[in-house]
Structure 1
Amino acid sequence: MQTNETQGSILIRNAAAIMTGGSGDATDPARVSGPDIRIRGETIEAIGALSPRPGEAIVDATDCVIYPAWVNTHHHLFQSLLKGDRAGLDATLTPWLAATPYRFRALFDEQRFRLAARIGLIELARSGCATVADHNYVYYPDMPFDSSAILFEEAEKLGLRFVLLRGGATQTRQLEADLPTALRPETLDAYIGDIERLAATYHDASPRAMQRVVMAPTTVLYSISPTQMRESAAVARRLGLRLHSHLSETVGYQDSAHDLYRRSPVAFCGEHDWLGSDVWYAHLVKVDADEIAMLAQTGTGVAHCPQSNGRLGSGICPVREMADAGVPVSIGVDGAASNEAADMISEVHMTWLAQRARLGMAATPQFRGGSFEGGAHAASVEDVIHWGTAGGAQITGLDEVGKIAPGYSADIAIYRLDDPRYFGLHDPAIGPVASGGRPSLAALFSAGRQVVRNDEIDGVDLAQLGREARAAVKALLAEVDG
């Protein structure tokens, strides 16, 4: 790929296919023929058969497929140094929390936190992701470094759009009671005070903002009290912030909500002002039909994290049923400590397969009353792209992000299908999702700025980053059980 960079517009030429992120209906097509896209400043200006303008920068996309840059709606970037921890590798959610993230969390100083954030953001960018929503819960009283500032700084260095999901807790589960200072809860006043600071410093409410802040107590069912749920929701809405948390990742959430409140988790959240079109939850694996209806009625969204849900044995979120009911659907990679491949290509590939497998598990033979053979219609490639791009933009309130269409932010991923994994495709457009792997990223544009060229990021030495990561992991392992 050859690029001639000049000031002004950029013409992406001769793409083999363009997927738009649209829903696929008559007014919102899922793909367009192109084959060219013109970027003017930060904006997609035109799509079609376009002629170069004098002095225009040209990006040759011959034999490449183009997607909107992915929008990742749930991550834990600090876990990028905790992949494949043997103590938690075969554990379900609750014992895994104790074995891995809580066991290591107190060892994260400013340097390790920054390195982990950088690794995670680079991994995402090289998968074609330009918008990252990170659910950071590394906060505690008298903390010696500002983890929020580090995340914004590292994303800005890479040219990525960053949404801080400001986690934290004002109360702890018994699991955390005997763990170090780094797991101590904050007071509600301290938590809200920091949210107000972050909102004043970073939050931009515009429809293609590069920085946003979200009220995101780590787990509303466990991390704050019911009264504080209402208080935090009121503060968020006063500040114009959205709301996010974990919910119903396992049956444990159902048991807790039933035992404590005699409600389903979703109903409990609704009674405490934590449902609405400005709210989305990670996981929602274990939800009943009435809960799906409640989510749809209120416009409450989901960040579907299929790889982590599979790795922890939690199950498969009923995304097809949710989407059909009208629940806003997006895709998140969750933390690398329960994922090991925290990139959006791996995640969307798993989304496509898992929804089909989930429906297929419900098939029974005709002699037992069955009516269908399998679940291959549960999710199309176009569905998955829509959820992972425009769906994520809708949930995060970035209304001019997530689509390849005139007037939208120029967040564009150009994939070169030059690995044998993609050879022989009858429809190259489906390759990045259907074939999986990691297609070469010929280019990634974020708000009109090219941040990846031929799989490389300016100023990033991957070999050196790998050495730093190995040294950090070695040191963590030496310290953790000492």
Structure 2
Amino acid sequence: MNPLLIKHCAAIMTGDKHQPRSQARDIRIRDGLIVEMGDLIATADETVIDARDCVVYPGWVNTHHHLFQSLLKGEPKGLNLSLGGWLAATPYRFRGAFDEQTFRIAVRVGLVELVRSGCTTLADHHYLYWPDMPFDGAEILFDEAAKLGVRFVLCRGGATQSRGLESDLPGALRPENFHSMMADVDRLVARYHQPHDRAMRRIVMAPTTTLHSTTPQELRESARLARQLGIRLHSHLSETVDYLDAARSKFGMTPLQFCAEHDWIGDDVWFAHLVKLLPEEIAMLGAAGSGIAHCPQSNARLGSGIADVVAMEQAGMKISIGVDGAASNEAADMQSETHAAWQLQRVRKGMQAQPRYAGGTYEGGGDAASIEDVVRWGTSGGAQVLGLHTGRIAPGMAADIAIYRLDDPRYFGLHDMAIGPIASGGRASVKALICDGHVVMQEDVIPGLDVAELRRDAAQAVKTLQQRAGV
């Protein structure tokens, strides 16, 4: 691991709530850690990265993804549907069409897209599991992440209860046996899980959805086993009003009350979406120190709504950002996601404004969330949710750093360069991406990656999936 010195940074966003920007211009990295910041002189053993005219952020931490969906972008049957119809039309219709090769290509596409946006940590909610599967998805996921040199968290999804969906490939919709599912979690933890806070590999207990994918008794048992193994808990929750209706109908309580009743709440738990939380549920999650993977683009694409993450943070929740699956978010990268998070919180607040004659105010939502808030959510907030010592640029932190070169005309004319990667949208080119002190991308190029070949592989894989799904 070569010592590194990042020199002449034009601006540094730290990911820290209390000091969101650093006045330092140089960052020294040794043994995978940031050890010094300031005006520094290079030593003979250091590799110097010239960050002149570049903006430096912590590496993004993506806390909710479905990498297999990277080959389902813009799938026509699900393109204009809301969540329930989209689930049946796209991810569940195609899930049985994946084999080892198509799955690996999907994973590679998604990981490359994320890395090119400056992402160094990814939590993938992987739920392609059914009895007698012909390939080990976990092995492929960890292998592809290791090749790129990024941190990878496998949220082991799956279901022991059928969703009642139909498919031309029904074998892939068969539910798992609960004891087999838990045995596989145990196997994955023994093989991959690193408990320390600079882990490159983690396992999380993550039934696909708490309301529909398991029984109440199994849900409680999965929480007990997760805590016995020392791993965290994750699932989808309250993405639409259907969750509220289903929880009332099936269990006579709100979705979060049901989760809390079965030990799925606490500072080791985070949920994806949480678009339709009641105020009392936000208070419960805040008091417990639980977290959210906020997925604004997917929630917008499916017409689900906008999660009130500002209120959640004020209540004490941990806020993080996830891109969700590319089948419901055709730009599954962290720069696009943070741009949407910044704008949509303002839209949400603006929609709540009332005219003065109705006892309200004409003021909109232009102050709902700052760029610094969004940087924090997408970096240190994600690290908090995952229990990792990264997400901030400060001495003593893991050296996960994205250096952006704002050389596209969309960034020209900025009065404040530091906000460019979020405020201006698009994909800023990456001067260098560092994960745990290793340079994993330089001059906007991932070593060994043939982008043209990956494009051809993806196009062929899409044709194969369409043929198998009867398209």
Quote the offset at 1:93 in angstroms: 0.3
SS state at 2:404 partner:
strand
Q: Look up the match of 1:406.
A: 395
Q: Look up the match of 1:3.
A: none
Quote the offset at 1:31 in angstroms: 0.8
Separation (CA, whole Å) in 1 of partners of 2:224 and 2:111: 31
Q: Is residue 417 of structure 1 aligned with residue 399 of structure 2?
A: no
Match of 2:174 among 166, 184, 188: 184
Q: Is residue 124 of structure 1 aligned with residue 114 of structure 2?
A: yes
SS state at 1:223 partner:
coil
Separation (CA, whole Å) in 1 of partners of 2:136 and 2:468: 23
Match of 1:34 among 14, 24, 29: 24
SS state at 1:313 partner:
coil
Match of 1:55 among 45, 48, 62: 45
Q: Look up the match of 1:476.
A: 465
SS state at 1:45 partner:
strand
Q: Is residue 317 of structure 1 aligned with residue 311 of structure 2?
A: no
SS state at 1:341 partner:
coil
Post-superposition Cα deviations, 1:265-303, rounded to whole Å, max 9, x if no partner, equal 011100000000000000000001000000001111100
Separation (CA, whole Å) in 2 of partners of 1:32 and 1:19: 7
Separation (CA, whole Å) in 2 of partners of 1:62 and 1:282: 38
Q: Look up the match of 1:17.
A: 11
Work out the number of aligned pairs and report it.
Answer: 471
Separation (CA, whole Å) in 2 of partners of 1:264 and 1:42: 44
Q: Is the 8 A contact 2:169 2:469 kept in 1?
A: no
Match of 1:388 among 372, 375, 378: 378
Q: Look up the match of 1:338.
A: 328
Separation (CA, whole Å) in 1 of partners of 2:319 and 2:168: 37
Q: Look up the match of 2:129.
A: 139
**Range 288-297 or range 173-182, more displaced:** 173-182
Post-superposition Cα deviations, 1:400-450, rounded to whole Å, max 9, x if no partner, equal 111100011100000000011000111100000111000001110000000
Separation (CA, whole Å) in 2 of partners of 1:301 and 1:378: 20
Match of 2:88 among 80, 89, 98: 98
Quote the offset at 1:179 in angstroms: 5.3
Quote the offset at 1:475 in angstroms: 2.2
Instruction: Spell out the pairing of 1:367-382 with structure 2 (5 A cutoff).
Output: 367-382=357-372
Separation (CA, whole Å) in 2 of partners of 1:352 and 1:246: 22
Match of 2:417 among 428, 445, 450: 428
Quote the offset at 1:178 in angstroms: 7.9
SS state at 1:360 partner:
helix
Q: Look up the match of 1:298.
A: 288
Q: Is residue 194 of structure 1 aligned with residue 184 of structure 2?
A: yes
Separation (CA, whole Å) in 2 of partners of 1:372 and 1:287: 26
Q: Is the 8 A contact 2:97 2:169 kept in 1?
A: no
Q: Look up the match of 1:88.
A: 78
SS state at 1:73 partner:
strand
SS state at 1:204 partner:
coil
Q: Is the 8 A contact 2:28 2:35 kept in 1?
A: yes
Post-superposition Cα deviations, 1:205-245, rounded to whole Å, max 9, x if no partner, equal 10110000000000010000001011000000000010000
Q: Look up the match of 1:205.
A: 195
Q: Is residue 149 of structure 1 aligned with residue 134 of structure 2?
A: no
How large is the Cα RMSD of the aligned pairs? 1.0
Match of 2:251 among 258, 261, 270: 261
Q: List gaps (5 residues or longer) in structure 2.
A: none
Separation (CA, whole Å) in 1 of partners of 2:443 and 2:56: 14
Separation (CA, whole Å) in 2 of partners of 1:349 and 1:282: 18
Quote the offset at 1:176 in angstroms: 4.7
Q: Is the 8 A contact 2:93 2:168 kept in 1?
A: no
Q: List gaps (5 residues or longer) in structure 1.
A: 1-6
Quote the offset at 1:195 in angstroms: 0.2
Quote the offset at 1:175 in angstroms: 2.1
Quote the offset at 1:198 in angstroms: 0.2
Give the aligned residue type for 2:323. V
Quote the offset at 1:481 in angstroms: 1.7
Give the TM-score, by structure 2 length. 0.99
SS state at 2:226 partner:
helix
Give the TM-score, by structure 1 length. 0.96
Q: Look up the match of 1:4.
A: none
Give the aligned residue type for 2:234. H
Q: Look up the match of 2:349.
A: 359
Separation (CA, whole Å) in 1 of partners of 2:122 and 2:167: 31
Q: Look up the match of 2:66.
A: 76
Post-superposition Cα deviations, 1:334-393, rounded to whole Å, max 9, x if no partner, equal 000000010000000000000000000011111111135101111100000000000000
Separation (CA, whole Å) in 2 of partners of 1:442 and 1:54: 22
Match of 2:232 among 237, 242, 245: 242
Q: Look up the match of 1:441.
A: 430
Separation (CA, whole Å) in 1 of partners of 2:317 and 2:356: 32
Q: Is residue 307 of structure 1 aligned with residue 274 of structure 2?
A: no
Separation (CA, whole Å) in 2 of partners of 1:328 and 1:65: 26
Q: Is the 8 A contact 2:155 2:204 kept in 1?
A: yes
SS state at 1:38 partner:
strand
Post-superposition Cα deviations, 1:74-105, rounded to whole Å, max 9, x if no partner, equal 00000000000011000000100011001111
Q: Is residue 459 of structure 1 aligned with residue 459 of structure 2?
A: no
Post-superposition Cα deviations, 1:455-478, rounded to whole Å, max 9, x if no partner, equal 111111001000111111122223
Q: Look up the match of 1:328.
A: 318
**Which portions of structure 1, spanning 4 or more consecutive aligned residues, are displaced by more than 4 angstroms?**
176-179
Separation (CA, whole Å) in 1 of partners of 2:163 and 2:87: 11
Q: Is residue 227 of structure 1 aligned with residue 221 of structure 2?
A: no
What percentage of residue pairs aligned between the two structures are identical? Answer: 61
